[in-house]
């Protein structure tokens, strides 16, 4: 086998192999837990979990999502947006140490998890406004 | 030529690791937010949030939706239905296209299979009590749908933004609420 032929074979095998691994892929996610949690989470100085959840729902509706399900007791809201792409979000509202409310958002677009900080920052900018309006009884 | 083949293989080998880029404005409010919010929202007066929810369920049943989930403490109702999305004009056009194709002696004349078939509609209604004024509620409805063709391929994914659709639902809701308030 000549040198160029060997190179073609090698590249061909590489193309077929792609990023294959022997374990089932994409089940546990990327696994960078702490960093991901930080960019997906905001804390608010309020004790009103129900109003926080209503603000989350209003924010999702403003962003064009339809609410799939919401659970006041567990503090979760799941919503879907059908657009040029399908985006799915789950937002969790948890009361922390009886003093603050923590809001965590997870987003997926199609089969990809959204992991960039800027996208979550955009979400929390909208939520911040909704929280302000709700807490100050404006709107 | 050989160089082009190597480049192609190299690109193919890298492609295996590619991920779809996240759209930059995925979670930014579009400029049309206020317009769409006003199309989808009405302020209703009722003696209780429960009455609005009950009246809504009745309207959704009138519209032949199935109720998927209700979360009473948050005022959220999610409903859905599968209905016919046939567009008769489009279907006729595609039928003639198939006829012309067959007359021309060409094979694989199945343009009709790309006609609209089912639409899966999801509707969410959220009731938000006005904190400043008792007995006043903001009701917001959002609707989206997926349209499939005859071969179950997705043709359209969209949010419904037409004002007339929401106006018709709110008109029915007001009537339903009037009846509900009278009987409760």
> Which domains does chain A possess?
28-135 (3.30.310.80)
Residue B43: HSE in the Cβ half-sphere, 13 Å Cα cutoff: 7
Give contacts of B146 with chain A, Cβ < 8 Å: 82
> Which domains does chain B possess?
31-87+115-183 (3.30.310.80)
Nearest to B140 by CA among B112, B170, B162: B170
Tens-place pLDDT, residues B104-142: 766 667 766 667 788 999 999 999 988 888 999 999 999
Helix or strand (DSSP H, E) at A44: strand A41-44
Q: Nearest CA to CA, how far is A81 from chain B (Å)? A: 8
* Other C-beta atoms lying within 10 Å of the C-beta of residue B44: 18
Assess B174–A contact: CB distance below 8 Å, yes or no: no
Assess B22–A contact: CB distance below 8 Å, yes or no: yes
Distances (CA, A) of B36 to B57, B142, B159, B174: 23, 10, 11, 20
Q: Which of A71, A110, A116 sits opposite B71 (nearest CB)?
A: A71
Residue B159 is encoded by which pair of tokens? Answer: 């949010």
- E runs forming strands in chain B: 41-45, 66-71, 76-84, 116-129, 136-149, 154-159
The DSSP code for B82 is E
* Other C-beta atoms lying within 10 Å of the C-beta of residue A91: 25
Residue B137 to residue B147: CA distance in whole angstroms: 33
Predicted confidence pLDDT, tens digits, chain B (184 residues)? 556 555 555 555 554 444 557 788 889 998 889 999 999 999 999 999 999 999 999 999 999 999 999 999 999 999 999 998 876 666 666 666 676 677 676 666 776 666 778 899 999 999 998 888 899 999 999 999 999 988 888 888 999 999 999 999 999 999 999 998 888 6
Q: What are phi and psi of B20, to 5 degrees?
A: -70, 135
Query: What's the helix, strand, coil split of chain B in %, to 5?
Result: 45, 30, 25
């Amino acid at each position: 086998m000549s040198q160029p032929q060997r190179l073609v074979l090698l590249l061909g095998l590489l193309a077929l192999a792609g990023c294959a691994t022997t374990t089932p892929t994409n089940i546990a996610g990327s696994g960078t837990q702490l960093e991901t949690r930080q960019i997906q989470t905001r804390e608010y100085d309020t004790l009103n979990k129900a109003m926080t959840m209503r603000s989350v729902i209003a924010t999702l509706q403003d962003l064009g999502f339809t609410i799939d399900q919401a659970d006041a007791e567990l503090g979760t809201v799941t919503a879907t947006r059908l657009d040029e792409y399908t985006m799915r979000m789950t937002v969790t509202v948890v009361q922390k140490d009886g003093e603050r409310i923590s809001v965590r958002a997870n987003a997926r677009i199609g089969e990809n998890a959204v992991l960039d900080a800027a996208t979550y920052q955009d979400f929390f900018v909208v939520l911040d406004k909704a929280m302000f309006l709700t807490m100050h009884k404006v709107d | 030529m050989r160089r082009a083949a190597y480049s192609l293989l190299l690109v193919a080998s890298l492609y295996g690791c590619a991920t779809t880029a996240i759209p930059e404005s995925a979670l930014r409010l579009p400029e049309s937010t206020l317009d769409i919010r006003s199309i989808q929202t009405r302020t209703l007066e009722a003696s209780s949030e429960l009455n609005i929810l009950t009246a809504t369920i009745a309207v959704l049943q009138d519209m032949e939706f199935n109720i998927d989930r209700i979360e009473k403490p948050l005022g959220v109702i999610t409903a859905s239905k599968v209905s016919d999305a046939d567009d008769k004009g489009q279907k006729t056009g595609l039928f003639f296209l198939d006829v012309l194709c067959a007359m021309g002696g060409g094979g694989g004349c199945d343009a009709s299979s790309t006609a609209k078939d089912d639409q899966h509609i999801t509707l969410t209604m959220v009731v938000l009590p006005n904190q400043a004024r008792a007995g006043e509620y903001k009701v917001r409805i959002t609707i989206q749908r997926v349209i499939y063709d005859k071969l179950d391929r997705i043709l359209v994914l969209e949010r419904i933004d037409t004002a007339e659709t929401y106006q018709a639902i709110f008109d029915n809701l007001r009537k339903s609420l009037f009846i509900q308030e009278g009987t409760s």
